[in-house]
Structure 1
Amino acid sequence: MSTSASTITTRCPSCKGLNRVPTDRVSESPKCGKCQTALLDGAPIEGTELNIDGLLNSDVPVVIDFWAPWCNPCVGFAPVFSDTAEEFNGRARFVKIDTEAQQMLGAKYQIRSIPTVMVFKGGKRVDVINGALPKSQFNQWLNQALLK
């Protein structure tokens, strides 16, 4: 069995250490092996080609922010996305995909402008929005998208 197919690799939001999580245990609230911080909920996860399928195929809705470090609206939207991830802890999983570092994912999801935010349920995209929004508008949009 290939390790890439049976595990996802994610960076701890606290200590930045890399952790491998078996895909069949993603829904069990895994913790960092080094600092014991929750790995997948409460803070945005760094999305990569190696972990995106495992994240999307979980039973928790996934909210993805496609962004780039050179994009001023993306950088300005980052605190809104992080705050919302904390507030929606347990209701949705938040992922940030750097389209510069993960160009194959940008192409796969046909990202034409950034920031672009997509919501997935059961591995299928249910909604998408382009552009940075103020927190109240983003939360309103997200609540509607999660009902779909």
Structure 2
Amino acid sequence: MSESLHIVCPHCDAVNRVPAPRLDEDPNCGACKRQLFTGHPADLSSARFLKHIERSDLPVLVDFWAPWCGPCRTMAPFYEQATQRLEPRYRVVKVNTEEAQDIGARYAIRSIPTLALFRNGREIARQPGAMDTNSILGWVQQNSR
């Protein structure tokens, strides 16, 4: 029997069990029936953030950003491209630190954009500053070992 992974739906936040070999088959959420992986980063509010990092068996890549931040806007299309290459092996999300100030404070986000990689609810790596697609992918790969 193959290992099942817990995947949090980016739409309804339901926790789904997906057999690991079926990740590449565009699995749908059992609750809302929408795709679990969309090729776009999921925008998470404070209320949703902890569930995604604590309940997902996948590593979670987070972009802490704000709409007024020029480097954040510059990095956004690169982050989108990286998402398309990282899914379904990673959950890729964005947290607007203006709207989720409690999350920014809890994780001591001092500059934006800041990327953070979480595994099993714990932060395992952090990188401040804007990056292009290849830099994001390289950083994720280097810190996923």
Question: What's the TM-score bracket when you normalise by the shorter of the two chains?
Answer: 0.7 to 0.9
Indicate whether 1:91 and 2:83 are aligned. no
- Structure 1 ranges of 4+ moved more than 4 A: 26-29
* Equivalent residue letter for 1:21: D
Residues of 1 paired with 2:84 and 2:132: CA distance? 16
- Aligned residue for 1:20, secondary structure, equals coil
Number of paired residues?
129
Give the 3 Å change call, closer, same or farther, for CA 122–81 of structure 1 in structure 2.
same
Please give the TM-score of this superposition, normalised by the length of structure 2.
0.79
Contact preservation (8 Å) 2:53, 2:121: yes
Contact preservation (8 Å) 1:66, 1:99: yes
In angstroms, what is the RMSD of aligned CA positions? 2.2
Identity among equivalent positions (%) equals 31
- Aligned residue for 2:47, secondary structure, equals coil
Indicate whether 1:21 and 2:13 are aligned. yes
Structure 1, unaligned stretches of length 5 or more?
1-7, 11-18
Residues of 2 paired with 1:82 and 1:64: CA distance? 12
Aligned to 2:142: 144
1:128 corresponds, among 126, 129, 133, to 126
Aligned to 1:62: 60
Residues of 2 paired with 1:87 and 1:48: CA distance? 24
Shift, 1:29, TM fit: 4.3
- Aligned residue for 2:143, secondary structure, equals helix
Contact preservation (8 Å) 2:44, 2:95: yes
Shift, 1:31, TM fit: 7.3
- Aligned residue for 2:88, secondary structure, equals coil
Shift, 1:22, TM fit: 2.6
Residues of 1 paired with 2:12 and 2:116: CA distance? 24
